[in-house]
Amino acid sequence: MKYINRFRIEPDSKVKLKDIDPGFTDGRESHKQAAEEIEHDQKKLRKLQDLLYADGRCSLLICLQGMDAGGKDGTINHILGSMNPQGCRVVGFKQPSAEELAHDFLWRAHRATPVKGSVSIFNRSHYEDVLVVRVHNLVSHAVWSRRYDQINEFEKELVDSNTHILKFYLHISKREQLKRFEDRLDDPTKQWKISESDYKEREFWGDYMTAYEEVLSRCSTPHAPWFVIPSDHKWFRNLAIARIVVEHLEALDMKLPKPSVDLGHIRREYHAATKA
């Protein structure tokens, strides 16, 4: 079964994250065993991105969501490592600025969507406005509860304008999150990521799971699907996401444009120049 079907949340599903194994590796035992597949998909991804740019008729928006230490940065590094950075943009969604708060909640997301021929990756996304704000009661129930339909309509508008949307929830266990926090304590290159809020937010784990389950259940649509990616093993997370992006892009009817010049004339000019 293709990964784009295996990990997709079907519309109107009732998602229970406790029933999805975050340690799943699809029969592979180690990164070493999967390394050749990963490299193969990375090469495909680069070629398909070049074709997306050359074709110029559509764009791709990738949304990454997950708990702290879920691997959003690692996923971005993996995807960007496979793509031409000139055609790929990463946008981080942190606490809204004063300017962003002065607009509707989707304004900052809309202005960051990709132009035709390009890829945008959202590190967190517009879904923060039905996750963090819900868990911490930053807006009323009446406000955040109507945002699911608004998000679905926003994404439908993008798709109707030929922006393809792939949304990934990086599913890690609470135990794996704690392990990654502990690893940061011992790694000087990652200590800067540590904050007291990381541990404090763990108190709300159950609330976040409930909020994510509603997002996945209500906002996985035929035009903008959610994928739950088992992410306790970083290498499998990278493999699964790259494979899904490859499978999606391969299914598009992308073509290289025809030359805009007379190639015969150019060849004659070249041969004349070489004989001069």
Residue that wins the pLDDT comparison between 171 and 270: 171
CA distances from 271 to 42, 126, 261, 265, 267 (A): 38, 55, 16, 10, 6
In sequence order, the 6+-apart residues with CB closer than 8 A to the CB of 147 are 105, 129, 130
Report the distance separating Cα 166 and Cα 8, nearest Å: 10
CA 168, chain centre distance (Å): 5
Residue with tokens 């030359």: 259
**Which residue stretches of the chain are H helix?**
3-6, 31-55, 72-82, 98-101, 107-110, 132-135, 141-144, 147-160, 174-186, 196-201, 205-219, 234-250, 263-275
Q: Mean pLDDT over residues 125-133, rounded? A: 98
What are the tokens at 119? 């890829």
Cβ pair 49, 211 in contact under 8 A: no
Q: What's the pLDDT score for residue 118?
A: 97
Give me the mean pLDDT over the 137-147 stretch: 97
What CATH number should be reported for the domain holding residue 169?
Answer: 3.40.50.300
Q: Is the pLDDT of residue 104 over 90?
A: yes
Q: What does the pLDDT read at residue 47?
A: 96
Confidence band of 273 (pLDDT split at 50, 70, 90): confident
**pLDDT, mean of residues 95-101:** 95
Check pLDDT > 90 for residue 274. no
101 confidence band (pLDDT: 50, 70, 90): very high
- Mean per-residue pLDDT, 173-194: 90
Whole-model pTM: value is 0.94
Q: Say how many domains are in the chain.
A: 1
% pLDDT > 90, the chain = 82
Average confidence score pLDDT of the chain: 94
What is residue 127's predicted lDDT score, i.e. its pLDDT?
98
Nearest to 180 by CA among 269, 63, 68, 267: 68
Q: What is the rounded average pLDDT of the residues 67-83?
A: 91
Which tens digit of pLDDT belongs to each residue from 27-50?
999 999 999 999 999 999 999 999
Distance between CA atoms of residues 66 and 59, nearest Å: 23
How high is the pLDDT of residue 148? Answer: 98
- Domain housing 156: 3-275
pLDDT in tens, 196-230: 777 889 999 999 999 999 999 999 999 999 999 99
Which residues, other chains included, contact 44 with Cβ-Cβ below 8 Å and sequence gap of 6+? 246, 250
Digit-coded pLDDT (tens) for 48-63: 999 999 999 999 999 9
pLDDT value of residue 188 = 86
pLDDT confidence band for 260 (50 / 70 / 90): confident
Q: Is the pLDDT of residue 164 over 90?
A: yes
Quickly state the pLDDT bin for 276 (edges 50, 70, 90): low
Q: Could you tell me the CA-to-CA distances from 40 to 26, 35, 43 in Å, in that order? A: 17, 9, 5
pLDDT at 225: 98
Give the number of other CB atoms < 10 A from CB of residue 82: 23
